[in-house]
Chains A and B, each alone.
Chain A
Amino acid sequence: MKFVIGMHINPAVLDALTDEEKAAIGDGHGALLAELKESGELMLTQALADPSQSAVVSVRDGRTVVTDGPFAEAKEYLGGFYVVDCESRERALEIAAKIPDAALAGLAVEVRPVMFYDGALEA
């Protein structure tokens, strides 16, 4: 079963962390990545740039309009995600609980099933 585990970031929460705490987050992700690679459950993971770098694209009457993002103004935004393929929803929740962000108040880790998947699987 495939799941996207999304990490919702609140920059105010991250800014308030000490350097040690920030390093611990990095280490935690590193350890989880190693585990998921070893178990054959990792499909991919990506971290996204700050929402201030995003652009919103819309096409109206055939004309493309680009405006500065983000689309939704919110305190929290999607900071990155893992795509995993694992045995069950229970296992996906277990993986999510190992993401360091899950232990920080004000950040959220969200698990959602994937309904459709395509991509460079032959690579």
Chain B
Amino acid sequence: MTRSPIEDLLREHTPQVLGTVVRRYGCFEDCEDAVQEAVLAAAVQWPSDGVPSNPRGWLTTVAARRLIDQLRSDRARRYRETADSLATVPADVPDTDDTLTLLVLCCHPALTPGSQIALTLRAVGGLTTAEIARAFLVPEATMAVRISRAKRLIREAGSTFGTPAPLSAVLHVLYLIFNEGYTAVHRADLATEAIRLTRAVHAQLPADSEVTGLLALMLLTHCRHATRTTPAGDLVPLDEQDRTAWDRSLIAEGMDLVKTALGGPALGPYLLQAAIAATHADADTADETDWRQVHALYLILDRVAPNPMVTLNRAIALAEVEGPGAGLTLLATLDADDRMARHHRLLSVRAHLLEKAGDPAAAHDLYRRAAKATTSLAEQRYLEGRAARCRPSAPT
């Protein structure tokens, strides 16, 4: 979707304005409605009247007026009296960034991850409900219900600032939004949206190594965006991607962030994953990949944040360092894990290592089982292609 400069400007200011209004008046739900009305008014007036010299101040003033009008009419209905105490709108709007404060609110622990994501995109990202519904392939009415329910839950849980969603919850939601955009080929705009929001958090917390790590991880992953699928939408594995087409400016920025953060005392999961992505980005060809370093980083990651998916990825790295047999031995430790035993990723990685070990018949069988187990069409096509390549009767 292409946006006009005014739309970009509105999207940049919306979270700030919402943050300011919520901070001043509380009640997230009403404030959000008022800010949306102000944004709508701006979208109508600015193209003809020109952009005001202080867009954020303009939006804040208009939103506050709408909110007060609303509160007044509510009060008039209920108490037949006016809300004079709310009538004065301070002329000066503090020039602070409220993005993080808003994110904390949207990632309220009372909400499910899906609702946190939807509300974040709506309130902080400034996407319309229709845009969010399209991105997640649900009817707009379904998404509208989900968002208003999320707002209501926040209100019920106590809607003012100070609700404690830990920073880690905010980072997790940003990570999920990025992943959503990254795994679904046609939703790359969610990935760029996640990067935009993570940049805003990083600007507020430049010294936090996990924020830095997450931003770097996104940049160093998104740099491959143009090369990870064919024009027909087929997946291209990392070792077959055209590395000359990786986005050099994203790589340079991500590398700088990783280097800076690795100099600090903390070594968290996002920073470690970013360091792994940096190692891949550093190799001009797949053969030049420093697999020892990748493996060492996965080993640390497996200790810092133990997770079968990390073990699975470590097995791939280990196979590159010590041979497929070592990788397969490590994979065997995952069979006892119920979550993993039937997972298509375990089946496909095992198939890949068996193929490398020179057992195409077993690899063929496992690729087929993995293809059946995935719920992604692109992945299924890819795995069926690998299976066909390993078919015992296939010409070599």
Binding site for B on A (CB under 8 A): 2, 37-44, 85-87, 113-118, 120-123
Q: Which residue of A lies closest to B148 (CB)?
A: A40
A120–B142 CA distance with the chains assembled, in angstroms:
13
Please tell me if the beta carbons of A85 and B130 are within 8 angstroms of each other in the complex.
Answer: no
Name A40's contact: one of B130, B134, B143, B380 (CB within 8 Å).
B143
A39–B139 CA distance with the chains assembled, in angstroms:
14
- Interface membership of B97, Cβ < 8 A: no
A-B CB pair tally, cutoff 8 Å: 51
Given contacts A87-B112, A115-B376, contact A121 B133 (CB under 8 A): yes
Closest Cβ of chain B to A64, distance in Å, is 29
Please tell me if the beta carbons of A38 and B145 are within 8 angstroms of each other in the complex.
Answer: yes
A117–B139 CA distance with the chains assembled, in angstroms:
11
- Interface membership of B244, Cβ < 8 A: no
- Interface membership of B375, Cβ < 8 A: yes
Map CB proximity to A onto B206-239 as digits: 1 under 8 Å, 0 otherwise: 0000000000000000000000000000000000
Range of interface residues on chain B? Answer: 20 to 34
Given contacts A115-B376, A115-B377, A121-B134, contact A37 B145 (CB under 8 A): yes
Closest Cβ of chain A to B131, distance in Å, is 11
- Interface membership of B146, Cβ < 8 A: yes
- Interface membership of B138, Cβ < 8 A: yes
Please tell me if the beta carbons of A123 and B376 are within 8 angstroms of each other in the complex.
Answer: no
Please tell me if the beta carbons of B113 and A43 are within 8 angstroms of each other in the complex.
Answer: no
Name B375's contact: one of A40, A41, A113 (CB within 8 Å).
A113
Please tell me if the beta carbons of A43 and B145 are within 8 angstroms of each other in the complex.
Answer: no
Across-interface contacts of A115 in B (CB, < 8 A): 375-377, 380
Please tell me if the beta carbons of B145 and A121 are within 8 angstroms of each other in the complex.
Answer: no
Please tell me if the beta carbons of B114 and A2 are within 8 angstroms of each other in the complex.
Answer: no
A121–B377 CA distance with the chains assembled, in angstroms:
20
